[in-house]
Structure 1
């Protein structure tokens, strides 16, 4: 089977498992680059069954000569791992990335907003829809994609719960709805939410939809308007802000893991590292 066709089937499989359009697009772009390199080495179209051990290592040697960063290298390896796990399971190829390790990267301090800064950002938001989305993100720690796909039937005001359908890893989970969020959502749904013939909770009165890129542009505009110049804030940073706020309130790391929908505690442990950085700064003042 031609490598190009196998890649196409794999991307269709990702879409069928409700991977986001952005994620599927990233996978498609990197797999296309890999395919074009392989076809260049073979001087023409290649059957997936022809790929041998060492092919992926040779590809990374090619990339390393171009001076790619460790972070980007790891992203490509992660994508190729997923692809070759898929082809190996189907008996098309061997597991061609099994012996490859991720490159070491320097940990990066992630930007987040303090509770006071968040208040300033909300005040600076002139768009009611963007404000409602931000309040939802900050009070739940949900991913922006989870937020924008939320439907009215996912909101259980009686039990104060929110159902997140097919989150990362195609998993459902439930989140608590605190008092402030319940009041904000009820006021929005009963008052300013437009009737557009859709069950989506957060909708634009013009198009009915709301894209992640548009939300991030409006968020960054509000951050600048609030006078915050030294932080690069995106929707994902709101999620970090929620986690940091929970840590400040003494919430244990395992509860934060469940709230954020992390599969591994190691992913959540970044907030312990952030807390340690603050402690290091504090002891310097003694």
Structure 2
């Protein structure tokens, strides 16, 4: 069956909630990217996420919640989590914390790990569906595994039409890259570890905590300790070459700043604009039939860390 396209209105929100309560899959807009949502307590529903995306079962999912109180019911909360949630939730921050014994989540969500990744999204439609459904929602990006993340409903349908029940169209995502993931599972006063750069710069998190973030521990390719850690990810159809001063023969240049190029992340060199446009530009290059992609250098500061993280994974050897 074709995927149902839902609009931004009360009947569509009610329809999305009914589908989710019945064990279905609904792609939802968040401020970062569109997520493929299912009831995080329903084994069969979560298994459908992995099947629709062709996602490896060892790769854990993020659970989306309405507020920090809902998070406290699932995990061993601590003072650091409290400070970060007060400063950045709702928003583009995911916290990885140890599970409580009676958490009630499907083990597929955590890939068998003793921790879970939790986020409170800021997008009004995502928040409305969380309220209407009354469910914790497992929601990785709504795209085939390893491919470019979706920032519009059209991107979702291009990859998953017929594989999922519905997509709720909330327009383009404002942030454009996935959430920042912090690991808080070590305990004992250990510094939070940056497991994935994302929509909230590491500098802002360090400032809120009053200390630098710890480097992420090495994560084996077959057993990541958080979502978004696979080496090959976010890949367009064409091979990608990074830090290019110009395109070589046969390449199409994805530019940044005042450069002569086919597609530009931000002609003014604005990292916020570049992050918001990253995945849309990669989708556009696919649509153009680019045979090879060269990418201008991106500063490794602020949101540039998240942009470069996604581009390095897009350029990695395909699995």
TM-score by length of 2: 0.25
Structure with the largest fraction of strand: 2
Structure with the bigger RCO (C-alpha within 8 Å, sep 6+) is: 2
TM-score by length of 1: 0.27
